[in-house]
Amino acid sequence: MVMADTNSSTEQVLFVHQQMYQVQLNEGPLTKLVVAIIMSLLFIWVNCLLLFTLSRKHIFRETPRYVLFSHMLCNDSIQLLFTSLLYIFSMSYSQVHRGACYLLLFVSSSTFLNAPLNLALMSLERYAAICFPLHHGNVATPTATAVGILTIWFLGGVNVVIDILYALTRDGTALGNHMFCTRERIFMAAWQADAFQGFNGFYFVIVTLIIVFTYISVMVAARSATSNKESAKKAHRTLLLHLIQLGLCLNSFLYGIIERALAMTSSSRLFMDLRYLNYLFVLILPRCLSPLIYGLRDDAVRPLFLYYVRCGSNKVKKVKPSH
């Protein structure tokens, strides 16, 4: 009886959303959608250029902090691309082949959770470099970095994989059908929504504790250091940026909650306007800030990046990456 009520309520919300999408498409051009897509593509291009920049120097490919930064750029670019695809499908009221939808949801959900987990790993790497400099080279090895990245993808994808497998178990014959591609559409039982919120909440609490701990530890090390104070101060500022980025990730976590609240508004035009702003500033903007927050402030990366932006028209001053 409870599940019947839940399914009925879910169907009503989905119907309201579908009607709103249809109204919006009939009201005029999709200028806002085009702006959002162009914004996403622009920052995907910036991320790809930064990735190309990092791939051109051997030292960047071997230094753990730059490897993790490259992973962040790659993850954010994939997130922007797949989120944009899902947004286009939802705005155009399009049904997607169920198998393709499962793939889209797996990638978008995994990359969403990968972002804060990668921040935690980057913070731990800086913590080891500043607080245990003599052991940093033994801990932050290429192998350890690769294992860390694989662990991030495992943790980021385990929940959505469980949901997809459960959906296939419940209705495997429908794999060839088409569906409206949203995460809520693969929820077959009430416990899945609870597990979804639980996984997200647990990860963000753990990541917050890790970043706060490493931030305080590095701050103490910076104040007590008798040598290499500049390196400690740089790490301190980097971890502060991690905290800011984590706050933006937490805003992204609130995206679904805000959208469900907006769906209860009586005006379809108001809903679509607010939903657009929610998508643009809560979901997209945090992903777009990564290259600005991390890459362009790095003295080793910035000159080389600007060199490729200008198509190699200026000489690059050699700057040794800081560890």
Percent of the chain with pLDDT over 90: 20
Q: Does residue 152 belong to any structural domain of this protein?
A: yes
Has residue 245 got a pLDDT over 70?
Answer: yes
Please report where in the chains the tokens 């607010």 appear, as a residue. 274
Mean per-residue pLDDT for 189-202? 85
For the chain, give the number of residues. Answer: 323
Please report where in the chains the tokens 């997200």 appear, as a residue. 200
Has residue 227 got a pLDDT over 60?
Answer: no
Q: Does residue 20 belong to any structural domain of this protein?
A: yes
Number of H helices, E strands in the chain: 14, 2
Q: Does residue 249 belong to any structural domain of this protein?
A: no
The residue range of the domain holding 76 is 2-114+134-193+268-309
Has residue 8 got a pLDDT over 70?
Answer: no
Has residue 68 got a pLDDT over 70?
Answer: yes
Structural contact between residues 293 and 241, judged by C-beta atoms closer than 8 angstroms: yes
Has residue 170 got a pLDDT over 70?
Answer: yes
> What CA–CA distance (Å, rounded) separates 214 from 127?
6
> What CA–CA distance (Å, rounded) separates 93 from 244?
35
The residue with greater pLDDT, 20 or 103, is 103
- Where b means 16+ CB within 10 Å and e means fewer, 106-136 reads bbbbbbbbbbbbbbbbbbbbbbbbbbeeeeb
* Total domains in the fold of the chain: 1
Instruction: Give the CATH number of the domain where residue 287 resides.
Output: 1.20.1070
Q: Does residue 167 belong to any structural domain of this protein?
A: yes
Q: Does residue 256 belong to any structural domain of this protein?
A: no
Please report where in the chains the tokens 């000489």 appear, as a residue. 315
| Weakest mean pLDDT among 60-69, 86-95, 101-110, 259-268 | 259-268
Q: Does residue 187 belong to any structural domain of this protein?
A: yes
Q: Does residue 240 belong to any structural domain of this protein?
A: no
Q: Does residue 127 belong to any structural domain of this protein?
A: no
3-state secondary structure of 182: coil
